[in-house]
Structure 1
Amino acid sequence: FSSEIIEPLQKKLGRSLSGLHKKRNYRLTLTLLFWLRVLIAQDRLSPAAQNSSLRGYSRISPHRKTTFLDVHCSHCAVVSSSGQMLGAGAGDEIDRTGCVIRMNNAPTRGYEKDVGKRTTMRVVSHTSVPLLVENEQYYFKQSANTTYVFWGPKRNMRQDGEGIIFNVLLKLAVKYRKSNMYVVTESKIKYCDSVFQNETGKNRMKTGAFLSTGFFTMILAMEMCDRITVYGMIDDKYCSRANHSDVPYHYYEQKRLSECRMYKYHESTQRGGHRFITEKAIYAKWATQHNIQFKHPTWKL
């Protein structure tokens, strides 16, 4: 414990022991020990409680009370929606992890063996909100213990009555009072844009790209988790390898485009695409700086 706290207490305790009656000294010692315990407890507050970056996630409240996300996990499982999860058999391992983070509307029912069944948090794009609304009883009532973090552009998420998606979420928050729903603040969105530009040297908006839900998820995970295991995410070189496997873009949409075809299309489109492959290269760099590992497939960093 810091000397700034210990030394004054020791001096004060020493003076009291030399000048006071034993019984009084005993009471004073107990009092000082009590306050020392309080100070130690404050010093051991979870990193999330001391982490100002989590103020970038504001709770959706019917009472318009400003509350920020306050969560910390020693070990997080970030579960990709990729078809790589099919046959992974990682369900039990994922469920044993302290916090399980999923994205958008990725289901667990019917896929428990591969992706697990627990969900601590979901990071959801504004475009996926209608998919959750279609099954709102499940997402916001049956899964009331799940924390939802929604992101989207200002035009959809503005809170002055003109944000179409935010208005939908606010109605859900009123209807399901026990739900834990947060939005990524406008300042946090700008921060994520600046991270992308710092890592790539490219302005996201000028290149006609949108950050993916995976990008927001990885940033949030690094802010709230000490250790991260990412399941089902391919690296940036995967699709260029001759022997890469051909899997669906989403494990729960097996008749849609393949993952690599989707990634290559988005990487090259001039307007409105996600830079999935570029983002994977960024994650590889982050993994050398943070406690992050990748499984199914394993990355060679």
Structure 2
Amino acid sequence: MEETEEKHLVPEVTDSSRDESKSYRTILHLLIKMINKSRWKILGVLAIFLVMVWYTISREESFYFPMQDDKMTCPLGEVERKAAQLIANYTRERPLFLQLKDYFWVKTPSPYELPYGTKGTEDILLRVLAVTSYSLPESIQSLKCRRCAVVGNGHRLRNSSMGETINKYDVVIRLNNAPVHGYERDVGSKTTMRLFYPESAHFNPQRENNPSTLLVLVPFKAMDFQWMETILNDKKRVRKGFWKQPPLIWDANPDHVRILNPYFMEITAAKLLNLPMKQLRRIKQKPTTGLVAITLALHFCDLVHIAGFGYPDSANKKQTIHYYEQITLKSMAASEHNVSHEALAIKKMLELGLVKNLTYF
């Protein structure tokens, strides 16, 4: 009885195995047949994937230039040579900041009003220059190589971990009221210069800057000089004439305040953005503080790297534009800045190797 049952069981196992094997072969055959029919589609998808990987890698390699170390070779003369290719009649002879003892508008009267010149504002400007300074700190003047980082306020700095890299530069230029406190990991803590105008001045400059930071006023209008004069001389504050109320109390050391030479605004507008300077009253577009800061760096640095520049795609209405606040590109609509135009100017500088990008653009 047991022998009969054993003989009966063997063929059942064998038949089952054969059925399973046959099923596997059938499934495999169908898979091969499907692959043969759609192999061009698969190859196409694979090709697209490989192109995307290549593009991503090449993009990162093209636009990410971390500092190597403090002994990095200084490319003396390279910025001047490449800037001359982009800026006609390029010169480093112009002073960075306006100074009381050297009235450049007397030697060559300024043909433009603010923000491209000083025409019509000389009187109030002289009163401001009487209580401010104009020189670069000796620690910067004595450098054999000035390695500069211009730090924009773009959203791409958020979670970038670029702080340590930014702090390694000899000169770090920041913009407007962009905070450092609480964002050190991404933007660093060193600030050599901060360019601003009254509406963008941080109410407490000591909080977001180093004790030796130069606070550089970028004048757009005569009221900007008047604001500075009333603040530094503790006169009655001016409340009208601004698109946004500037600080009424601004505790800054006058010895650390500088007035940017409007020449750099003129060069930015005329040479980088190609604005028609003879028709300025018809042209509402004005350069951003960020692009002016890059122009300034081109005129006194031996190495210029930028970080945090570039705006999100215009179709992306919800993407924030700054690393520190939740405002979107929509807020730029009423401004006098053409961000697309400026993006092209920066891309041209990147292509020439005149500046290099620490983030991406």
C-alpha displacement at 1:164, in angstroms? 2.7
What does the per-residue CA deviation read over 1:153-208, in whole Å, with 9 as the maximum and x for residues that have no partner? 242244xxxx2344325559x975574111123555444443356x2557554231
Larger radius of gyration: 2
Instruction: Tell me, yes or no, if structure 1 residue 184 matches structure 2 residue 184.
Output: no
Q: Are 1:99 and 2:140 counterparts?
A: no
Check conservation: 1:77, 1:230, Cα contact below 8 A.
Answer: yes
Quote how far apart the aligned CAs of 1:52 are.
2.1
* Paired residue total: 226
Identify the residue that residue 53 of structure 1 maps to in structure 2: 94
Is structure 2 residue 177 aligned with structure 1 residue 113? no
Report the AA paired with residue 153 of structure 1.
Answer: F
Question: Are the aligned partners of 1:58 and 1:66 in contact in 2 as well (CA < 8 Å)?
Answer: yes
Aligned to 1:12: none
The answer to whether the Cα contact below 8 Å between 2:95 and 2:261 also exists between their aligned partners in 1 is no
Unaligned runs of 5+ in 1: 1-46, 267-271
Identity rate, percent: 22
> 1:206 & 1:81 partners in 2: Cα distance?
29
Report the equivalent of 2:356.
Answer: 293
2:59 corresponds in structure 1 to none
Give the CA deviation at 1:232.
1.6
1:146 Cα deviation (Å)? 0.5
Specify the alignment match of 2:210 in structure 1. 143
Give the residue type in structure 1 aligned to 2:192.
Answer: T
Aligned residues of 1:54 and 1:223 also touching (Cα < 8 A) = no
Counterpart Cα distance in 2 of 1:239 and 1:194:
26
Distance, in Å, in 1 between the alignment partners of 2:181 and 2:133 is 34
Contact 2:154 2:308 in 1 (8 A): yes
Question: Is this contact kept in 1: 2:99–2:129, CA < 8 A?
Answer: no
Q: In 2, Cα distance between the equivalents of 1:170 and 1:185?
A: 22
Kindly report the root-mean-square deviation, in angstroms, between the aligned alpha carbons of the 2 structures.
3.5
More strand by share: 1
What letter is aligned with 1:207? I
Contact 1:148 1:181 in 2 (8 A): yes
Please tell me the residue identity of whatever aligns with 1:156: M
AA in 1 matched with 2:204: N
Q: Secondary structure at the match of 1:106?
A: coil
Report SS of the residue matched to 2:169.
coil
TM-score, scaled to structure 2: 0.53
Report if the CA contact (8 A) 2:157-2:187 is conserved: yes
List gaps (5 residues or longer) in structure 2: 1-79, 81-90, 101-126, 235-247
Alpha carbons of structure 1 residues 125 and 118: separation in structure 2 relative to 1, 3 Å:
same
Q: Which segment is superposed worse, 219-228 or 244-253?
A: 244-253
Higher relative contact order (CA 8 A, sep 6+): 2
